[in-house]
Chains A and B, each alone.
Chain A
Amino acid sequence: EAGVVQSPRYKIIEKKQPVAFWCNPISGHNTLYWYRQNLGQGPELLIRYENEEAVDDSQLPKDRFSAERLKGVDSTLKIQPAELGDSAVYLCASSERQGRYNEQFFGPGTRLTVL
Protein backbone atom coordinates (compact mmCIF):
# COMPACT_ATOMS: atom_id res chain seq x y z
CA GLU A 1 0.00 0.00 0.00
CA ALA A 2 1.36 3.43 -0.91
CA GLY A 3 2.14 5.78 1.93
CA VAL A 4 1.63 9.52 2.10
CA VAL A 5 3.11 11.11 -1.00
CA GLN A 6 4.55 14.61 -1.00
CA SER A 7 6.11 16.70 -3.69
CA PRO A 8 8.48 18.26 -4.28
CA ARG A 9 10.99 16.79 -1.82
CA TYR A 10 13.17 19.88 -1.95
CA LYS A 11 12.53 23.47 -2.94
CA ILE A 12 14.83 26.47 -2.99
CA ILE A 13 13.36 29.89 -3.63
CA GLU A 14 14.20 33.52 -3.05
CA LYS A 15 12.31 35.51 -0.47
CA LYS A 16 9.08 37.12 -1.61
CA GLN A 17 8.50 34.34 -4.15
CA PRO A 18 5.46 32.04 -3.91
CA VAL A 19 5.76 28.31 -3.28
CA ALA A 20 3.34 25.40 -3.16
CA PHE A 21 3.53 21.93 -1.68
CA TRP A 22 1.37 18.97 -2.64
CA CYS A 23 0.25 16.01 -0.57
CA ASN A 24 -1.64 12.85 -1.43
CA PRO A 25 -2.76 10.97 1.70
CA ILE A 26 -3.23 7.25 2.15
CA SER A 27 -6.32 6.06 0.35
CA GLY A 28 -9.36 6.12 2.59
CA HIS A 29 -7.85 8.46 5.18
CA ASN A 30 -10.31 11.25 5.83
CA THR A 31 -8.07 13.31 8.10
CA LEU A 32 -5.14 15.23 6.66
CA TYR A 33 -2.58 17.31 8.52
CA TRP A 34 0.05 19.82 7.50
CA TYR A 35 2.96 20.35 9.90
CA ARG A 36 6.00 22.56 9.85
CA GLN A 37 9.21 21.30 11.42
CA ASN A 38 12.08 23.65 12.15
CA LEU A 39 15.57 22.30 12.58
CA GLY A 40 16.00 20.52 15.91
CA GLN A 41 12.36 20.87 16.88
CA GLY A 42 9.27 18.72 16.76
CA PRO A 43 6.59 19.16 14.12
CA GLU A 44 4.12 22.00 14.64
CA LEU A 45 0.59 21.58 13.37
CA LEU A 46 -0.43 24.20 10.80
CA ILE A 47 -3.81 22.91 9.69
CA ARG A 48 -5.99 19.82 9.91
CA TYR A 49 -8.69 18.73 7.47
CA GLU A 50 -11.62 16.41 7.97
CA ASN A 51 -12.48 15.52 4.37
CA GLU A 52 -12.57 18.91 2.64
CA GLU A 53 -13.23 20.95 5.77
CA ALA A 54 -10.43 22.71 7.64
CA VAL A 55 -11.33 21.97 11.27
CA ASP A 56 -8.24 23.41 12.94
CA ASP A 57 -6.21 26.17 11.32
CA SER A 58 -5.44 28.10 14.50
CA GLN A 59 -1.67 27.86 13.93
CA LEU A 60 -1.71 28.74 10.23
CA PRO A 61 -0.22 32.20 9.51
CA LYS A 62 -3.12 33.31 7.39
CA ASP A 63 -1.51 36.47 6.05
CA ARG A 64 0.80 34.43 3.84
CA PHE A 65 -0.18 30.77 4.15
CA SER A 66 -3.17 29.11 2.53
CA ALA A 67 -4.27 25.53 2.06
CA GLU A 68 -6.94 23.65 0.23
CA ARG A 69 -8.33 20.15 -0.03
CA LEU A 70 -11.04 20.67 -2.58
CA LYS A 71 -12.27 17.11 -3.12
CA GLY A 72 -11.34 15.77 0.26
CA VAL A 73 -8.38 13.79 -1.07
CA ASP A 74 -5.12 15.50 -2.00
CA SER A 75 -4.14 18.86 -0.60
CA THR A 76 -1.98 21.86 -1.42
CA LEU A 77 -0.25 24.21 1.00
CA LYS A 78 0.86 27.56 -0.37
CA ILE A 79 3.09 30.33 0.92
CA GLN A 80 2.92 33.76 -0.73
CA PRO A 81 5.18 35.60 -0.31
CA ALA A 82 7.83 33.44 1.34
CA GLU A 83 10.07 34.88 4.04
CA LEU A 84 13.47 33.77 5.27
CA GLY A 85 11.89 32.38 8.45
CA ASP A 86 9.75 30.00 6.43
CA SER A 87 12.74 27.76 5.76
CA ALA A 88 11.74 24.43 7.31
CA VAL A 89 10.49 20.96 6.48
CA TYR A 90 6.78 20.83 5.67
CA LEU A 91 5.24 17.51 6.59
CA CYS A 92 1.92 16.09 5.53
CA ALA A 93 0.23 13.33 7.51
CA SER A 94 -3.03 11.45 7.30
CA SER A 95 -5.10 9.26 9.57
CA GLU A 96 -8.27 7.20 9.27
CA ARG A 97 -10.05 9.39 11.78
CA GLN A 98 -9.44 12.26 14.14
CA GLY A 99 -9.28 12.07 17.86
CA ARG A 100 -7.14 10.88 20.67
CA TYR A 101 -6.44 7.32 19.56
CA ASN A 102 -5.62 7.71 15.93
CA GLU A 103 -2.30 6.83 14.30
CA GLN A 104 -0.91 9.47 12.00
CA PHE A 105 1.05 8.40 8.93
CA PHE A 106 3.59 10.95 7.78
CA GLY A 107 5.03 11.64 4.37
CA PRO A 108 8.75 12.31 3.84
CA GLY A 109 8.26 16.06 3.86
CA THR A 110 9.30 18.95 1.64
CA ARG A 111 12.45 20.76 2.67
CA LEU A 112 12.04 24.45 1.86
CA THR A 113 15.00 26.82 1.73
CA VAL A 114 14.27 30.52 1.36
CA LEU A 115 17.26 32.62 0.30
Chain B
Amino acid sequence: LAKTTQPISMDSYEGQEVNITCSHNNIATNDYITWYQQFPSQGPRFIIQGYKTKVTNEVASLFIPADRKSSTLSLPRVSLSDTAVYYCLVGDETSGTYKYIFGTGTRLKVLA
Protein backbone atom coordinates (compact mmCIF):
# COMPACT_ATOMS: atom_id res chain seq x y z
CA LEU B 1 0.00 0.00 0.00
CA ALA B 2 1.37 3.42 -0.96
CA LYS B 3 2.38 5.24 2.17
CA THR B 4 3.80 8.63 3.04
CA THR B 5 5.75 9.73 6.10
CA GLN B 6 5.74 13.32 7.30
CA PRO B 7 6.79 15.08 10.50
CA ILE B 8 3.87 15.25 12.89
CA SER B 9 4.28 18.94 13.63
CA MET B 10 6.40 22.00 12.92
CA ASP B 11 6.61 25.51 14.33
CA SER B 12 7.74 28.58 12.44
CA TYR B 13 7.70 32.35 12.74
CA GLU B 14 5.98 34.78 10.48
CA GLY B 15 8.01 35.77 7.44
CA GLN B 16 10.13 32.64 7.43
CA GLU B 17 10.29 30.03 4.70
CA VAL B 18 8.89 26.67 5.75
CA ASN B 19 9.90 23.38 4.18
CA ILE B 20 7.88 20.24 4.88
CA THR B 21 9.42 17.01 3.64
CA CYS B 22 7.49 13.89 2.81
CA SER B 23 8.90 10.42 2.32
CA HIS B 24 7.21 8.10 -0.20
CA ASN B 25 9.58 5.21 -0.84
CA ASN B 26 7.01 3.09 -2.68
CA ILE B 27 5.85 5.69 -5.15
CA ALA B 28 4.87 4.21 -8.49
CA THR B 29 6.74 5.14 -11.63
CA ASN B 30 3.85 7.07 -13.13
CA ASP B 31 2.47 8.56 -9.94
CA TYR B 32 2.15 12.22 -9.06
CA ILE B 33 2.79 13.83 -5.67
CA THR B 34 0.06 16.09 -4.37
CA TRP B 35 -0.17 18.36 -1.36
CA TYR B 36 -3.32 19.54 0.41
CA GLN B 37 -3.86 22.09 3.18
CA GLN B 38 -6.58 21.79 5.82
CA PHE B 39 -7.81 24.43 8.24
CA PRO B 40 -9.93 23.53 11.30
CA SER B 41 -13.57 22.82 10.47
CA GLN B 42 -12.87 22.87 6.73
CA GLY B 43 -12.20 20.27 4.08
CA PRO B 44 -8.70 19.91 2.61
CA ARG B 45 -7.72 22.31 -0.14
CA PHE B 46 -5.40 21.50 -3.05
CA ILE B 47 -2.07 23.33 -2.92
CA ILE B 48 0.23 21.88 -5.55
CA GLN B 49 0.99 18.78 -7.58
CA GLY B 50 4.12 17.59 -9.35
CA TYR B 51 5.87 14.65 -10.94
CA LYS B 52 9.56 15.54 -10.92
CA THR B 53 12.08 18.36 -10.42
CA LYS B 54 10.38 21.59 -9.36
CA VAL B 55 6.89 22.98 -9.60
CA THR B 56 5.91 26.47 -8.50
CA ASN B 57 2.58 28.22 -8.25
CA GLU B 58 1.35 31.38 -6.58
CA VAL B 59 1.36 29.91 -3.08
CA ALA B 60 4.06 27.22 -2.90
CA SER B 61 6.88 25.33 -4.53
CA LEU B 62 7.32 21.59 -4.71
CA PHE B 63 10.78 20.06 -4.98
CA ILE B 64 11.12 16.44 -6.11
CA PRO B 65 14.55 14.79 -6.38
CA ALA B 66 15.48 12.50 -9.21
CA ASP B 67 14.68 9.27 -7.32
CA ARG B 68 11.24 10.66 -6.38
CA LYS B 69 11.30 8.87 -3.02
CA SER B 70 10.69 12.12 -1.22
CA SER B 71 9.36 15.59 -1.88
CA THR B 72 9.49 18.95 -0.15
CA LEU B 73 6.72 21.49 0.04
CA SER B 74 8.12 24.99 0.39
CA LEU B 75 5.99 27.85 1.70
CA PRO B 76 7.71 31.21 1.26
CA ARG B 77 7.32 33.87 3.95
CA VAL B 78 4.60 32.22 6.00
CA SER B 79 1.98 34.21 7.85
CA LEU B 80 -0.28 33.36 10.77
CA SER B 81 -2.98 32.32 8.31
CA ASP B 82 -0.76 29.47 7.07
CA THR B 83 -1.29 27.66 10.37
CA ALA B 84 -2.92 24.43 9.21
CA VAL B 85 -2.38 20.73 8.62
CA TYR B 86 -0.53 19.82 5.41
CA TYR B 87 -0.98 16.45 3.74
CA CYS B 88 1.33 14.81 1.23
CA LEU B 89 -0.40 12.30 -1.02
CA VAL B 90 0.64 9.70 -3.51
CA GLY B 91 -1.69 7.32 -5.23
CA ASP B 92 -2.45 3.68 -4.71
CA GLU B 93 -3.75 1.21 -7.28
CA THR B 94 -3.66 -2.02 -5.29
CA SER B 95 -7.46 -2.16 -5.19
CA GLY B 96 -7.63 -1.94 -8.96
CA THR B 97 -8.67 1.70 -9.07
CA TYR B 98 -6.52 4.73 -8.50
CA LYS B 99 -7.02 6.64 -5.24
CA TYR B 100 -5.16 8.94 -2.93
CA ILE B 101 -4.14 7.81 0.54
CA PHE B 102 -4.08 10.58 3.13
CA GLY B 103 -1.59 10.17 5.97
CA THR B 104 -1.74 11.92 9.32
CA GLY B 105 -0.28 15.12 7.90
CA THR B 106 2.01 17.79 9.35
CA ARG B 107 0.54 20.29 11.75
CA LEU B 108 2.21 23.64 11.04
CA LYS B 109 1.95 26.37 13.62
CA VAL B 110 3.07 29.86 12.63
CA LEU B 111 4.01 32.12 15.52
CA ALA B 112 3.99 35.90 15.59
Residues of chain A touching chain B, judged by Cβ–Cβ distance below 8 Å, are 4, 35, 40-45, 48, 55-56, 58, 91, 93, 98-101, 103-109, 111
Contact B98 A99 (CB under 8 A): yes
Partner among A35, A41, A100, A107 whose Cβ is within 8 Å of the Cβ of B32? A100
Question: Which B positions have Cβ atoms within 8 angstroms of A?
Answer: 30-32, 41-46, 49, 87, 91, 95, 97-100, 102-105
A60 and B32 alpha carbons, distance in the complex (Å): 25
Residue pairs across A and B with Cβ atoms less than 8 A apart, 7 shown, are A35-B102, A41-B104, A48-B97, A48-B99, A56-B97, A91-B44, A106-B42
Q: Given the complex of chains A and B, what is the CA–CA distance between A103 and B89 in angstroms?
A: 12
From the candidates A100, A104, A106, name the one contacting B91 in the complex (CB within 8 A): A100
Is the beta-carbon distance between A108 and B42 smaller than 8 angstroms? yes
Complexed CA–CA distance, A100 and B100 (Å):
8
A43 touches B98 (CB 8 A): no
